[in-house]
Amino acid sequence: MNTLLTTNLGVTPLLGRGKVRDLYAVGDALLLVATDRISAFDHVLATGIPGKGKILTQISLFWFDLLTDLVPNHLITAKVSEFPASLQPYADQLEGRSMLVKRAKMFPVECVVRGYLTGSGLKEYRASGTVCGIPLPTGLLDGSRLPEPLYTPSTKGEAGTHDENIGYDATEALVGEADAAELRRLTLAIYKKAARHAESCGLILADTKFEFGRTSEGVILADEVLTPDSSRFWDAAAWKPGGAQPSFDKQFVRDYLETIHWNKQEPAPGLPDEVVERTQAKYLEAFRRLTGRDLDLQDSSGA
């Protein structure tokens, strides 16, 4: 299976390349193409994960459909046959991994929600008993379920930099009181519905982040949604607070990078075949568990 690390769509204007996605201008719309790049510790690695962009795109499409009763989204179509004629010569690059989406004025915040204690929240809790400044009960462990989901927005870090947690007051200052309240309401509502669905699939949605934008129709959900790149999914059957939880993400990649003592500076290293294969298998299992379907990476045109 080929690994697509960089797209090239001829004269189609390229607006930018993120850690995973390439963004193009297509008339009044945008084209999001999820490559097979993988990042860790804020750096894009030299090796990709074959089919990862297709898996992420198909997971996002599943969630966009499931969440339409809560919030509209930016999707126009994910069917390459419905893309403009100028993109048809590049169908082999786009099939299964691209979305034609509405342009939106994006809010300058990452809408993070945490249902369980882990990651940076755990470090802060151990130091101060709080997560993003929000006091929590004593005695919580690594992996503990929080009394209620916490909305903990952050700034959007540029490539190679960390997002910075910001308080709710700072969000109000950035986007205004009304929009800040709406972003919090939507984030918590989406998380609760998604967590219920994940639970029905034997998964725990520990935390996730959303991006929202505004169009003439109002606030919409944009970017990717509830994928292993933006969310922590744990196996519910293996959940046991008190240590790291088995997860459906790039943990194999992080673990490998720690063993080689990479200094987390450029140039980023490549990955051995075993790590690539195990990571791909985790992403595919996440798709299967969440959607109830298998994904044929050779032909994911049925999105």
Per-residue pLDDT 10s for the chain (303 aa) are 789 999 999 999 999 999 999 999 999 999 999 999 999 998 999 999 999 999 999 999 999 999 999 999 999 999 999 999 999 999 999 999 999 999 999 999 999 999 999 999 999 999 999 999 999 999 999 999 999 999 999 987 665 456 788 889 999 999 999 999 999 999 999 999 999 999 999 999 999 999 999 999 899 999 999 999 999 999 999 999 999 999 998 888 999 999 999 999 999 999 999 999 999 999 999 999 999 999 988 754 443
**What does the block give as tokens for 255?**
């673990």
| 177-200 and 52-66 helices, crossing angle to 10° | 110
Strands (E), the chain: 14-17, 21-26, 29-34, 39-40, 43-44, 75-77, 98-102, 105-106, 111-116, 130-131, 134-135, 145-151, 203-215, 218-222, 231-235
Q: Token digits for 238?
A: 């293996």
User: Which superfamily, per CATH, for 106-251?
Assistant: ATP-grasp fold, B domain (3.30.470.20)
Here the tokens at position 223 are 């970017």
| Distance (Å) of CA 4 to CA 39, 95, 100, 101, 280 | 14, 12, 19, 21, 14
108 closest CA partner among 188, 185, 166: 166
One-letter amino acid at 107 equals F
Q: For residue 95, give the 3-state DSSP assignment.
A: coil
Q: Supply the pLDDT for residue 157.
A: 63
Q: What are phi and psi of 254, to 5 degrees?
A: -60, -45
Residue 160's pLDDT is what? 47
Q: Angle, nearest 10°, between helix axes 168-175 and 177-200?
A: 120
pLDDT at site 161: 53
Q: What is the dihedral of CA 274, 40, 245, 296, to 10 degrees?
A: -50
Hey, is 43 helix, strand or coil? strand
| 72: preceding bond cis by omega (within 30 degrees) | no
| Global pTM value | 0.94
**What burial letters (b/e) apply to 151-175, b meaning 16+ CB within 10 Å?**
bbbbbeeeeeeebebbebebbeeeb
Which residue, among 151, 111, 148, 118, has the nearest Cα to 133 in the 3D structure?
A: 151
